[in-house]
Structure 1
Amino acid sequence: MDLSVREEISPEARQPVITYAYLPQYSHTASFERHQALTKYLAATTGLNVRQVFPENFQEHMQMLAQGKIDISYANPFVHALAVERHGAGVFAKIIELTGEATFGGLIISRRDNTEIASLEDCRGKRWIAVDQFSAGGYLFGLVHFIDHGLTPGDFAEIAFAPGPGGKQESVILGVYFGHYDVGTVREGALELLADKIDLAQIRVLARTPRYPGWSYAARPGLAEEVVEQIKQAMLALDRGNPDHRLILEQAAMDRIVSASPEDFQPVRDLVHRTGLQ
């Protein structure tokens, strides 16, 4: 080996990371498992260095989006309605649910053996646990449904929000199941997450809320338009007829991803203004 022969090696320029975050309505493990294949697909398809990040809660997700620490946000329409108005985030795509619809709703639940609660009116004076103050299906939709049936926040003995990072939908269901709270609000489909852990027959669905525009993708203010377009086109190219794509979509609990604009979410913005939560 001739050590007199030297070659200068320049380190490769590090590609900027494009951060992708799933609003933490479920545990971080569930968020990772649902979107790992999708983020890998986006990175491979666009050539961008896409990495999933994990905010601890809804509030932190919104703060990170406003601070530029989340480039691509996958979140409920309530969060994006606020993010668009407060910080100028740009909604560019939305999902079609596995039901084939672009809308979803919330559930108002109680324990089946709680004889004091058989209707929404019976929730007056009771303890209500919701997912988060920025949850659409787990709070906003239920709140409006209660208001439409004559109950205001002041009519409840308590309104609590699920504690801790992630896993909040599950926490609401368990809070009701174990009798810590009388009623709870979660999004459609959340009960099935605990089908192998609790006896769902003990949970009564008191009401289903109307359905509203569903989850969407938004880009942080200032993210380069060409980056947003690359991400968007890769998402729109996902085709259920392709077995690999179908697996990616089903893991993420989506039927497909389609184009969207802020106007699509006006019904949710109307709810936000109506309740004074903006």
Structure 2
Amino acid sequence: MMRLWSIKRVLLAALMLALVQSAGAAKPAAAETLTIGLIPELNVFKQMERFRPLGAYLSRETGVEIRFTILSRYGNLVESFQRDGMDGAFFGSFTGALAIEQLGVVPLARPVNLDGESTYHGVIYARKDSGIRDFADMRDKKFAFVEKATTAGYVYPLAYLRENGVESLDNHFAEYFFAGSHDATIYAVLDGKADLGASKNSVFDWVRAADPRVDAEIEVLALSGNVPSNGLCVRPDLDPGIRERLKQVLLRLHESAEGRKVLERFNALRFIETSVADYAPVYAWAERAGIDLKHYDYENR
């Protein structure tokens, strides 16, 4: 009798499981999820704090769940894009040019910064007490770069150095290293770990506004020309309808009160449309630095 009861319980459990599975199969499919990569422009906590409101807004307005993933390194974004099945990324200007060349990504939109510009430029700076006033004073000093896959944090200063006759960083500087993010590079100089640094002006200005030591202790030595601010690019085979919805939501973000709050958290005024042609200045800086975008080794060595 007990054995018969056990068999009945097993059959009942199997029937209930079948009903649950059948009910689950009848439900509509879950909303599509897009994975968007982020470069480590700021430290991971600041970067996610900046992007989280934008992701929530995009998810609601497009009907597609947006999931951000922050890469540990700039170069990793290009390397990981296909391997990890990313659907898009907010590429920096240089990683964007790399991804256009190597992956065929499609640019959609980029932010207009608080200064009214949709571009940024590179800044080379030094500690005021380092004795560095121009290029001639840089020899045998310590230089902090960001990453080899950044325009302002490496490609521009490399072009600047090449055009001033520097053939080998190892022979010219007492030491150089990669701090990993633009704000970390600034603080490496502020904290005396480096005499010189290079960053993008937008992050330099954010740190400057928050930390009075920047004006007191750092002197700007050189500026690059403008390149496009970090923009959203997507894989070339992304559904055209989803691609268009993403772009239009970004372009109209400033039209609503809620959207303007998101932009405020994002440190931007609005988004504008971006095209491959906008990356022409990046190609020019890469050429001046002696970099072949199709075969560039962006490992920090």
Aligned counterparts, 1:1-278, within 5 A: 9-10=23-24, 12=27, 13-67=29-83, 69-115=85-131, 117-154=132-169, 155-163=172-180, 168-191=181-204, 192-193=206-207, 196=210, 199-200=213-214, 201-239=216-254, 241-277=255-291, 278=293
- In structure 2, the CA distance between the partners of 1:148 and 1:212, relative to structure 1 (3 Å rule), is farther
- Larger radius of gyration, structure 1 or 2? 2
Q: What are the superposed Cα offsets for residues 28-58 of structure 1, whole Å, 9 maximum, x if unpaired?
A: 1111111111111111101001111121211
- Structure 1 CA distance for aligned equivalents of residues 184 and 124 of structure 2: 14
TM-score (norm 1): 0.87
- Structure 1 CA distance for aligned equivalents of residues 258 and 128 of structure 2: 41
Amino acid at match of 2:173: F
- Structure 2 CA distance for aligned equivalents of residues 85 and 267 of structure 1: 14
- In structure 2, the CA distance between the partners of 1:77 and 1:62, relative to structure 1 (3 Å rule), is same
- Structure 1 CA distance for aligned equivalents of residues 141 and 42 of structure 2: 25
Query: What is the DSSP-based 3-state SS (H/G/I as helix, E as strand, rest coil) of the residue aligned with 1:255?
Result: strand
Query: What is the DSSP-based 3-state SS (H/G/I as helix, E as strand, rest coil) of the residue aligned with 1:257?
Result: strand
Give 1:194 shift: 6.5
CA contact (8 A) 2:31 2:65 kept: yes
CA contact (8 A) 1:39 1:52 kept: yes
Amino acid at match of 1:64: S
Amino acid at match of 1:184: G
CA contact (8 A) 1:105 1:208 kept: yes
CA contact (8 A) 2:226 2:281 kept: no
- In structure 2, the CA distance between the partners of 1:263 and 1:189, relative to structure 1 (3 Å rule), is closer
Give 1:273 shift: 2.9
CA contact (8 A) 2:140 2:173 kept: yes
Which ranges in structure 2 are unaligned for 5 or more consecutive residues? Answer: 1-15, 294-301
CA contact (8 A) 1:131 1:138 kept: yes
Pick the structure with more helix per residue. Answer: 2
Amino acid at match of 1:203: I
CA contact (8 A) 2:133 2:221 kept: yes
Q: What are the superposed Cα offsets for residues 132-180 of structure 1, whole Å, 9 maximum, x if unpaired?
A: 01112212222223334444444333331115xxxx2222122212222
- In structure 2, the CA distance between the partners of 1:213 and 1:170, relative to structure 1 (3 Å rule), is closer
Query: What is the DSSP-based 3-state SS (H/G/I as helix, E as strand, rest coil) of the residue aligned with 2:24?
Result: coil
Give 1:70 shift: 2.3
- Structure 1 CA distance for aligned equivalents of residues 68 and 57 of structure 2: 12
- Structure 1 CA distance for aligned equivalents of residues 141 and 85 of structure 2: 39
Amino acid at match of 2:264: E
Query: What is the DSSP-based 3-state SS (H/G/I as helix, E as strand, rest coil) of the residue aligned with 1:113?
Result: helix
Aligned residues: 269
Amino acid at match of 1:261: S
CA contact (8 A) 1:68 1:221 kept: no
Query: What is the DSSP-based 3-state SS (H/G/I as helix, E as strand, rest coil) of the residue aligned with 2:130?
Result: coil
Give 1:189 shift: 2.9
For the aligned residues, what is the CA RMSD?
2.4
CA contact (8 A) 1:66 1:83 kept: no
